[in-house]
């Protein structure tokens, strides 16, 4: 249950509401914005009101202990979950299929390349001596 005095919504579920309305809904934990997902907007609600005394879930008091603090941040962070995004895909703009192909491609080891470069002249000299 949420106090619309904290949210300031004018409509809820297609009906008009005011600051005296109490809103009843089921939301994921740490969903301060009541939009059904936990994201940066919920963090912003917590960040804006951090280190203040309030029982407002919409302001970021996710454990409803009357203060918005690091415990509430931890609840938000845990609700956010581990990131499934690959930073290489995101930063370089590669599609996941191309990245998977690049990762699967064999890469010659530097030691093998150096050995090949060092022995090639010796092999060529040896072959030259054998040819009449």
Residues of this chain that interact with Ca ion (CB under 5 A) are 31, 33, 35, 42, 61, 63, 65, 72
Task: For Ca ion, give the closer residue by CB, 6 or 42.
Answer: 42
- Compute the Cα dihedral for 74, 75, 79, 80 and give only its sign: negative
Task: For Ca ion, give the closer residue by CB, 6 or 61.
Answer: 61
Whether 50 and 69 have beta carbons less than 8 Å apart is answered as yes
Q: Which residue is nearest to Ca ion (CB)?
A: 33
Burial degree of 84 (CB within 10 A; 0-12, 13-18, 19+): exposed
CA distance 43 to 34: 13
CB 111, min distance to Ca ion, A: 52
- Displacement of CA 125 from its chain's centroid (Å): 58
Task: For Ca ion, give the closer residue by CB, 18 or 65.
Answer: 65
Phi, psi of 29 (to 5 degrees): -60, 140
Task: For Ca ion, give the closer residue by CB, 21 or 63.
Answer: 63
- Displacement of CA 4 from its chain's centroid (Å): 30
CB 32, min distance to Ca ion, A: 6
CB 54, min distance to Ca ion, A: 9
CB 110, min distance to Ca ion, A: 49
């Amino acid at each position: 249950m949420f106090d619309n005095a904290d949210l300031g919504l004018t409509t809820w579920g297609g009906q008009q509401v005011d600051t005296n309305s109490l809103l009843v809904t089921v939301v994921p934990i740490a969903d301060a914005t009541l939009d059904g997902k936990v994201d940066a907007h919920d963090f912003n609600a917590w960040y804006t009101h951090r280190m203040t005394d309030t029982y407002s879930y919409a302001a970021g008091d996710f454990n409803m202990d009357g203060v918005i603090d690091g415990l509430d941040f931890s609840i938000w962070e845990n609700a956010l979950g581990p990131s499934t995004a690959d930073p290489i895909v995101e930063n370089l703009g590669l599609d996941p299929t191309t990245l998977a192909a690049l990762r699967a491609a064999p890469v010659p080891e530097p030691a093998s390349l150096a050995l090949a470069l060092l022995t090639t002249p010796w092999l060529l000299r040896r072959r030259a001596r054998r040819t009449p």
